[in-house]
Amino acid sequence: MTLDVSFDEMVLSLWRQIRPRCIRLIVLESGAQSGAYNMALDEQLLEWARSKPPDSQQTSGSPAILIVRTYQWEKPTLSLGVNQSDKELPALLKLYQPIQSGSDLEVVRRPTGGRAILHGEDVSFSFITNIPLVLKLSLAQSYTLLTDWVQQALAQCGLDAYSGITQNEREYLRSAICFETHTPSDLVERQSGMKVVGSAQLRREGGILQHGAAFLNPFGIQPCQFSQALFSTVQSVLAQQGLLLSDANSNGNDCEQWFEPVSLAQK
């Protein structure tokens, strides 16, 4: 219980720190795509957000951008962290290829960090933002802020999860597989102690991309259910903070409310 209380208090404190005038929220439900497509799209979205820096005073109609995307994988895909050694790949393929019953296993490298994940049974998600004060948060603080939305979405789906505990760094690096270990940026199901969400982040000047993978099948949660819970959670949190509502700025002009649901499933 102590972990949850301190986690909630930290999130509230972070919101007080980063509160901008308004945020342009874009949600994408991409459906099942290839691994190469998924990774390329997230990087392109990050570069697009970086190319549109918000007006620091938000007086010229240029709000900060937050993109929330959920997606799946059209075939079993092994993703490696950006800094993960190629030397680990043969052992990973030997471990996972037989599980696929002869089907081809796509291998991609994520632009974010972390360890290897076998995708196919998960629903993946990404947060992409150029909110200036979020960019100034520490790595741990930004993880806390974004992971809180995922935790709330899981609760909306009936799953009670909490932030993972810190493990020895050597122990974390010793494992080539993401879901064999956990960190405070991950989420663990309370009753079983099973890690259900793993996250990793990429930071570039003017933008952040955070990847996540949620394995929810054992708990009967469908991808569309999680996606809608995540989108509604983020929208609700921003609205409660007054960031999606018409907001008068210092010049007396109204700040436009942005909410853009987009589906790429048919593309």
Catalytic machinery residues: 178
Tell me, what amino acid is at 263?
S
Measured CA angle at 10 (ends 213, 174), to 5 deg: 45
Q: How far apart are CA 102 and CA 35, in angstroms?
A: 18
Task: Using the structure block, give the residue that is written with the tokens 């301190």.
Answer: 6
- Neighbouring-strand partners of residue 118: 78
Q: Got the DSSP string for 138-173? A: -HHHHHHHHHHHHHHHHHHTT--EEEPPP--HHHHH
Phi, psi of 244 (to 5 degrees): -110, 0
Q: How far apart are CA 18 and CA 162, in angstroms?
A: 23
Q: How far apart are CA 13 and CA 132, in angstroms?
A: 17
CB 131 within 8 A of CB 54: yes
- Neighbouring-strand partners of residue 109: 80
Q: How far apart are CA 242 and CA 236, in angstroms?
A: 10
Q: Which of 51, 112, 110, 41 is nearest to 264 (CA)?
A: 41
